[in-house]
Amino acid sequence: MSEFEASANPQTGHTEILTLDPSLKTRLEARRVTVMYGQKAGVKDVDMPIYTHKVTALIGPSGCGKTTFLRALNRMHDLTPSARVTGEVLLDGVNVYAPGVDPVEVRRKIGMVFQKPNPFPTLSIYGNVVAGLRLVGIRKKSLLDEAVERALTQAALWDEVKDRLHAPSMSLSGGQQQRLCIARALAVEPEVLLMDEPTSALDPISTQSIEDLLTELKNHVTIVIVTHNMQQAGRVSDFTGFFLNGDLVEFGPTNLLFTTPKDKRTEAYITGRFG
Amino acid sequence: MQQAPVQPSRIKRPPSALYRLLGDRIFFAVILLLALSIVALTLGLGYYLYLGGSQTIQKEGFWGFLTGTTWDPALKLEFGIWPYVVGTLITSMAALFLSVPVALAAAIFAAEYAPRWLAGFINYLVDLMAAVPSVVYGIWGIFVLAPFLRQVLYLPVFLWASENAPWLAPYLGNPSGYGMFTAVVVLSSMIIPFTAALSRDVIQLVPAAQREGAYALGATRWEVMQMVILPYARGGIFAGAMLALGRALGETMAVAMVIGNGNILPYTLFGPASTMPAVIALELKEAVEDLHYSAIIGVGFYLFLIAFIVNAVASYLLHKLKVGEQRA
């Protein structure tokens, strides 16, 4: 991450860092994203770039809007009748909220992993991984087999399950189930992977294995991870956004945000004065 | 605010060990007694049904009584219940097959697709359907359904067949409006609410995380339904269907009113037949011979056995279908 060291100046905003590192590309960009639950705003006017093949962490205290913002990125709020999203989310320059854009297509390109592992209990390990592929009409066994091995390998689960691919998915441990869900999301080769506190229901060893995984995974896919654990954000992410009361207070390279926060509230949060 | 000082006198002493021991014992004894009373009631019911029917069952033989096809309480005093067994099983199964798609569709629509006010209305009607007494369904069968089916189905087909395909005539039966098929339609309308209500509840109980998992993979609404919701809810849907089947097997009044009450082995859905509950209800008051009386109680015994077997098979299948959180 030396490319950011050059700009370790408290006065420097992230836009300037962009100019310092021309290799950085924007995969996803939120513009003035607001999510309303009835009359109450979940997040307000958030602008944030998500850089290609980087891990972006969203941190903040409970109820600050980080998960709400994450779910706005792949149109999951469409499923909640009371939620309304305004603003734009550009995926490779195309607004996913534009009229005529199919939310089903959006979610195929922007995958998601949830807080609690949610494998489909009636399907086998294999069946879970290929669920998304079958939805797009892939039936050929050789293709499916190939995708299963690739996705499970990427999710660091292959060695543990390769001899029992057709065992029920519920026979796995919690950590394995979460990696299975990651493999399920990766199998459809999304461009972006959204992770909503993916380790909050897991023990420390499983958490460790998923964190290790992220560093490897970002070579294939752009990752946005919500976490309430600042240490985790520090360990795994390249960029961090700090949310408070529905506002994006500060966004920047993780090492800068944690060492030289520009906002008093960010400083208070990362030094543990609240949250 | 000043904290009130703790007053030791107001704190109850913990109950004595003897009290706790006795409390547990007494509670345990009470629930054990109540639970055992269910077992006793069931076994007792079976036993006394057998006892009441034993005179005829012993005369005809356990299998002979079941598989005999002649039911003649008047002249030969010969009793075989096979026509009624077949009538019961066919009407119940046919009603089940007719009702499950409708019930499931109503449940899915109410739980997943309908706006809230419409779903509430549908749910209210479904619950109402379950609460209507069966004799009312029977009246509806006699005054509405039977004439209607006769007019639009039985009679036209009968007239057509007598012109063009006389060999079909015996299978069509008398175009009276009363018969097995009418009973099946009445029965299936009666059992729809059982499957529908239970299916609706289990569909609504499918965790949001499951739905979202499928949506996040890029599933459409229909794909979420078939990939996640129906597989997850299958146990409950099956349980609803079994509840409906149990209800259909035991349904008496409405069926007796429209099935035509034939006492021969049914060979067509469109002729008269009878069912085990119907024959019990209709003949018990008229039985004068001991053997006849005992035969009717015997029918009750075999109905009890059938219900027992159906329940046992259903609970085995339910166990197989259950989607558990437990590790394998």
Q: Is residue B10 pLDDT above 70, yes or no?
A: no
Whether residue A123 lies within 8 A of chain B, CB to CB, comes out as yes
CA distances, A62 to each of A44, A82, A229, A244, B102 (Å): 16, 21, 11, 9, 45
CA A263 to CA A14: how far, in whole Å?
Answer: 14
What number of other Cβ atoms are within 10 A of residue A238's Cβ?
18
Whether residue A79 lies within 8 A of chain B, CB to CB, comes out as yes
Q: Average model confidence (pLDDT) for chain B?
A: 89
Domain ranges of chain B: 83-287
Specify the CATH class of A2-270 in words: alpha beta
Q: Is residue A1 pLDDT above 70, yes or no?
A: no
Q: Which residues in chain B touch residue A132, judged by CB atoms under 8 angstroms apart?
A: 217-218
Q: What is the mean pLDDT of residues B16-40?
A: 89
Reported confidence tier of residue A48, pLDDT bands at 50, 70, 90: very high
CA B11 to CA B9: how far, in whole Å?
Answer: 6
Higher pLDDT, A274 or A191: A191
Q: What is the mean pLDDT of residues B181-194?
A: 94
Q: What is the mean pLDDT of residues B289-300?
A: 93
Instruction: Report CA B292 to chain centroid distance, whole Å.
Output: 28
Tens-digit pLDDT profile for residues B116-143: 899 999 999 999 999 999 999 999 999 9
Tens-digit pLDDT profile for residues B200-257: 999 999 999 999 999 999 999 999 999 999 999 999 999 999 999 999 999 998 999 9
CB burial class (10 A; 0-12, 13-18, 19+) of residue B46? Answer: middle
Q: For B234, how many CA atoms within 13 A lie in the half-sphere containing its CB?
A: 17
pLDDT of residue B77: 86
Reported confidence tier of residue B23, pLDDT bands at 50, 70, 90: confident
CATH fold of the domain at B83-287:
MetI-like fold (1.10.3720)
Strands (E) in chain A, as ranges, are 26-37, 40-51, 55-59, 83-91, 94-95, 110-113, 192-196, 222-226, 239-244, 247-253
Tens-digit pLDDT profile for residues B94-110: 999 999 999 999 999 99
pLDDT of residue A4: 46
**Is B115 in a helix, a strand, or coil?**
coil
Higher pLDDT, B191 or B19: B191
Contact call for B216 and A76, based on CB within 8 A: yes
Q: Is residue B152 pLDDT above 80, yes or no?
A: yes
Tens-digit pLDDT profile for residues A108-144: 999 999 999 999 999 999 999 999 999 988 899 999 9
**Is A226 in a helix, a strand, or coil?**
strand
| Contact of A34 with A44, CB cutoff 8 Å | yes
pLDDT of residue B136: 95
Tens-digit pLDDT profile for residues B60-70: 999 999 999 89
- Best mutation target among A114, A122, A125 (most B Cβ atoms within 10 Å) is A122
Q: What is the mean pLDDT of residues A232-246?
A: 93
pLDDT of residue A85: 94
Q: Is residue A244 pLDDT above 70, yes or no?
A: yes
- Best mutation target among B116, B215, B217 (most A Cβ atoms within 10 Å) is B217
Q: Is residue B327 pLDDT above 80, yes or no?
A: no
Residue corresponding to tokens 């807080």: A115
What number of other Cβ atoms are within 10 A of residue A80's Cβ?
13
Q: Is residue A8 pLDDT above 50, yes or no?
A: no
Q: Which residues in chain B touch residue A120, judged by CB atoms under 8 angstroms apart?
A: 210, 213-214, 227-228, 231-232
Q: Average model confidence (pLDDT) for chain A?
A: 88
| Contact of A191 with A91, CB cutoff 8 Å | yes
Q: Is residue A12 pLDDT above 60, yes or no?
A: no
| Segment holding B71, helix H or strand E | strand B71-72
